[in-house]
Structure 1
Amino acid sequence: MGRFQGKSIIVTGAGSGIGRATASLFAGEGGQVIAADKTDAVNATVAAITDAGGRAIAVQMDAGIERDVEDLVALACSEFGGLDIFYANAGISGGITGLFESDVTLWTEVLRVNLIGPFLAIKHAAPKMVDRGGGSIICTASVAGLRSGAGGPAYSASKAGVINLVQTSAQQLSGSNVRVNAICPGLIETGMTQRAFDYAREKGVEEKIGRLNPLRRAGVPEEIGRVALFLASDEASYVNGQAWVVDGGLSSSHPVTRQEFGKTAA
């Protein structure tokens, strides 16, 4: 019997990277998974899970649209009898456009997906979990949300918002036995970062990837997924309102080359 035998689980951003890895890990431990993503790549995730003997349903949706999130939660309840775990992982990078070069359209979209998306997950998942006597909600934040130097301005601000959101939500859900936590990944090879990894390999400088953290390497999606499984499990029954950093030690320093105002980096 796996840790999640018979549990009803939703994972967003499950078409690739961290979401795909985590959905597979949940299913491998007996979870009944709804794998959701904006792209049809989520079908490949579910195919891999079912081929391995797991149970999963693929859904294409937008994590930043309220009706889509409502429908996702309703599907979990109708198919699996309720909802126990929601991993709000979907996110976008928004590129690395500087603060003064970016516009409101970019910021609006990044905040819609990265911050409003987790808010909607908590808003609609928590009441269903209360009906089950409790549950666990995990949101993907980032080391970029801890301090500057690890992401673009819009992305960093959105992930800082996620960290505060889980703290606020944990307090708002006092006495409900619904726990809300965040994971702050460092540099992980995912669909979002793939171009940087491919470029480094093309140039023959792959060994430089992740060199700023003490482990001197990038992480893999499964290393984040295993933390998500812990936070979702009864083993983490006293962990609530926290932001768990999984970054190889990067945020112990956040070294960065600073750019002077008004000057373009070489």
Structure 2
Amino acid sequence: MGRLQGKRAIITGAGSGIGRATARLFAAEGASVLVVDRNAEGVEATAAEINAKGGKAIAVAADAGSEADVTAFIDKAVKAFGGLDVLYANAGISGGWTPLLEQTAEMWQEILRINLIGPFLAIKHAAPIMTKQGSGSIICTASVAGLRANAGGSPYSASKAGVISLVQTSANAFYGTGVRVNAVCPGLIETGMTAPIFEGARARGNEGKIGQLNPLKRGGQPEEIAAVVAFLASDEASYVNGQAVPVDGGLSSTLPFAQQRF
């Protein structure tokens, strides 16, 4: 029996990276998963891999920042699985490192639409289902960029700080319902979004410097985020609510400092 045995889950941004790793782990732990991504090919591949290994997955190509799409894929999951126990609002975009004074309102609007309005819509439409059954776990992907400066561009960082606030306010909005809302805050994780950083460092022979600012002195892997998400989704985290959990090798625990030799 896996720790998510019988759980019915939705994971957005599941066509690659953290979302795909989480979908794999959820299925391995016994959950039925509806996987969502704008990249139809990627999300179909995620579902096919899970089903080939004996798991249960349904793929949906959708835009996590579109209310019509969100209501449609939540309805699909409920009809297919008979309910909804877990929703992981993971889909997001980075927006790159455009200098602040060169950013446009349109850039901000699109990043906020997907990264912040998307999780809001997921919570808005999943929570009524969960409150009726008296239980449920909603997890959102925030970021260390939402905790401190210089881990992402301005609009991305603002969107992730908004996700942290959204999680806190939502957890309190569902006071007494049994619905928990938490966030995970990844540090530097090797995904498609961060591929230029990792590939550039390897090309320059500087791979050893990746993650040098955190105490573990390395970057992370999607599976390391998935493990924390699976915990938050499980009954083992039944008393964890309204939290933003950094998974960053210790980066957010420190202020800048000069390395000491011991």
Same fold judged by TM-score > 0.5? yes
C-alpha displacement of 1:253: 2.3
Other-structure match for 1:262: none
Which whole-Å CA distance do the structure 1 matches of 2:243 and 2:36 have between them?
Answer: 24
Other-structure match for 1:264: none
Which whole-Å CA distance do the structure 2 matches of 1:153 and 1:253 have between them?
Answer: 21
What aligned pairs does 1:63-74 form with structure 2 within 5 A after superposition? 63-74=64-75
Aligned AA (2:46): T
C-alpha displacement of 1:205: 1.2
What aligned pairs does 1:38-77 form with structure 2 within 5 A after superposition? 38-40=38-40, 41-77=42-78
Other-structure match for 1:232: 233
Give the secondary-structure state (helix, strand or coil) at the position aligned to 2:94. coil
Give the secondary-structure state (helix, strand or coil) at the position aligned to 1:68. helix
Which whole-Å CA distance do the structure 2 matches of 1:81 and 1:253 have between them?
Answer: 45
Other-structure match for 2:148: 147
Matched, 1:209 2:195: no
Other-structure match for 2:23: 23
Contact 1:149/1:255, CA 8 A, preserved across alignment: no
Matched, 1:168 2:169: yes
Give the secondary-structure state (helix, strand or coil) at the position aligned to 1:161. helix
Contact 1:63/1:69, CA 8 A, preserved across alignment: yes
Which whole-Å CA distance do the structure 2 matches of 1:135 and 1:252 have between them?
Answer: 30
Which whole-Å CA distance do the structure 1 matches of 2:255 and 2:183 have between them?
Answer: 19
Deviation sequence 1:43-92 (CA, Å, 0-9, x none): 11111111111100011000000010000110111000010000000000
Aligned AA (1:164): S
Percent of matched pairs sharing the same residue: 66
Equivalent residues, number: 256
Other-structure match for 1:223: 224
Structure 2 runs not aligned, ≥5 long: 258-262
Give the secondary-structure state (helix, strand or coil) at the position aligned to 1:100. helix
Matched, 1:184 2:185: yes
Aligned AA (1:70): T
Give the secondary-structure state (helix, strand or coil) at the position aligned to 1:97. coil
Other-structure match for 1:261: none
| Two-structure CA RMSD over aligned residues (Å) | 1.0
Other-structure match for 1:260: none
C-alpha displacement of 1:132: 2.1
C-alpha displacement of 1:255: 3.5
Matched, 1:3 2:6: no
Give the secondary-structure state (helix, strand or coil) at the position aligned to 2:102. coil
Other-structure match for 1:259: none
Other-structure match for 2:260: none
Which whole-Å CA distance do the structure 2 matches of 1:212 and 1:47 have between them?
Answer: 38
Contact 1:150/1:156, CA 8 A, preserved across alignment: yes
Which whole-Å CA distance do the structure 1 matches of 2:252 and 2:82 have between them?
Answer: 40
Which whole-Å CA distance do the structure 2 matches of 1:59 and 1:209 have between them?
Answer: 34
C-alpha displacement of 1:254: 5.2
Return the TM-score normalized by structure 1.
0.94
Deviation sequence 1:132-159 (CA, Å, 0-9, x none): 2210000000000012121100000000
Change (3 A) 1:27 1:121: same
